[in-house]
Amino acid sequence: MTTLTEVPETSAARETPARRRRRVDRLPYLLLLPALAIIGVLLLWPLGQVVVMSFYRLNSVRQLRGDREWPWVGLGNYADILSDPFFLTVLRNTVLFAAANVLLTMVLGTLVGLLLNRLGRKMATFVASCVMLAWATPALTGTIVWKWIFDDTSGLVTWLFNALPDGLSNSLFGRSDWTGYGWFNSPLLFFAILTLVVVWHSFPFIAVSVLAGLKSVPSELHEAARVDGASPWRVFWKITFPLLRPVFGILIVLSTIWDFKVFTQQFVLAGGTQDRPTFMLAIYSYAEAFSPPPKYGLGAAIAVILTLILLVVTGFYVRMVLKQEDES
């Protein structure tokens, strides 16, 4: 036995360390090759290409197919966008929407996470299952259902407002008949409903992540603080929050990234790309590029601006994850 195992070892060590290492080294690269190729061609190359496209005036599909030349305009597209006062509206919409949604999602998600941690087992399972349903529902159908709930004739919300006593409804809103009321017509109401839809979709992830974090914290700490008479508010900020700080950091960054590029919900709720006053960066870029007349170069420039904003946020995210991996 001993001789058998010793022989290959010594011979390998003496004669062929270089050859062996080379042979072993090549395999992982071979295994990685397909994944690298796909990520390179389908994610990284387009990312570079969108920057390239933003420097050209591209107004027809024939240019994309290569049948017509691409006129270089340098930073012309960016100049057009940044000098257009409409861009400020879009940017304001995007930033305010993202800020409001991140805040609401985080607050609601955290509260639900804390609640799930305190509930009895049966109740917690029940509530968690319901919360999962909201998370699992595709953005598309979730939004369609909310649209139905806000339908202007038979929608539940319209019925609810109609059911208010006429006097109360009149003094509060100046109308008592809500049938035919366009819930999506004013930008502010549209954004309120969009916020409702997006928060409904995204709070479950926060709740479940916070719950998972809470489970990893020894409960003695909380009990001790409570025995000492600390209020729940103080317990949260003095114990829970500092312990879960890395989790909160990552959740805030992820939420920010997601809420900056909301598209499907807005597209479905607005019924397409016609509702310009409610445009945010993602849908603005899409509408400029694909609504006739197409302006691919201009759309690409807007996409680059969106990407740059998110790049900064992503920088924070990667730093946080790497820090976590180091510590664990």
Partner 1 sequence: MKKVALNGAGVLVALFAAFPVYWMISTSLKPSNEIFSATPQPVPTHPTLAHYREILTGNLIPGVSFLDFFLNSALVAVSTVVLSGLVALLAATAVARFRFRLRTSFLIMLLVVQMIPLEALVIPLFLMIQRLGLYNTLPSLILTYLGFSLPFAVWMLRGFVAAVPKELEEAAAIDGASRAQTFRRVLFPLVAPGLVATSIFSFITAWNELIFALTFINDQGSYTLPVAMTFFFGRDDTNWGPVMAASTLFTLPVIIFFLLVQRRMVSGLVAGAVKG
Among 31, 75, 82, 99, binds partner 1 (CB under 8 A): 31
- Residues of span 70-109 touching partner 1 by CB under 8 A: none
201 and 135 Cβ atoms separated by less than 8 Å: yes
Cα–Cα distance list, 88 to 54, 77, 112, 156, 191 (Å): 19, 15, 35, 35, 17
Among 8, 28, 85, 292, binds partner 1 (CB under 8 A): 28
Does residue number 303 form part of the binding site for partner 1 (CB under 8 A)?
yes
Q: What's the chain's length in residues?
A: 328
For residue 72, give the 3-state DSSP assignment. strand
Residue span binding partner 1 (CB under 8 A) among the ranges 6-14, 41-49, 72-80, 92-100: 41-49
CA angle 43, 75, 298 (to 5 degrees): 60
Q: Which residues of 175-208 are buried (b: 16+ CB within 10 A; e: fewer)?
A: ebebeebebbeeeeebbebbbebbbbbbbbbbbb
Does residue number 241 form part of the binding site for partner 1 (CB under 8 A)?
no
Among 7, 12, 75, 140, binds partner 1 (CB under 8 A): 140
Among 7, 32, 88, 224, binds partner 1 (CB under 8 A): 32
Does residue number 113 form part of the binding site for partner 1 (CB under 8 A)?
no
Among 99, 144, 172, 224, binds partner 1 (CB under 8 A): 144
- Residues of span 42-71 touching partner 1 by CB under 8 A: 42-47, 49-50, 53, 61, 64-66
Does residue number 189 form part of the binding site for partner 1 (CB under 8 A)?
no
Does residue number 168 form part of the binding site for partner 1 (CB under 8 A)?
no
Residue the block writes with tokens 């510590």: 327
Residue span binding partner 1 (CB under 8 A) among the ranges 9-17, 40-48, 83-91, 170-178: 40-48
Q: Which is nearer to partner 1, 149 or 239 (CB)?
A: 149
Question: From the DSSP assignment, how many helices (H) and strands (E) are in the chain?
Answer: 18, 0
CA–CA distance, 98 with 259 (Å, rounded to integer): 5
CB of 27 to partner 1, least distance (A): 7
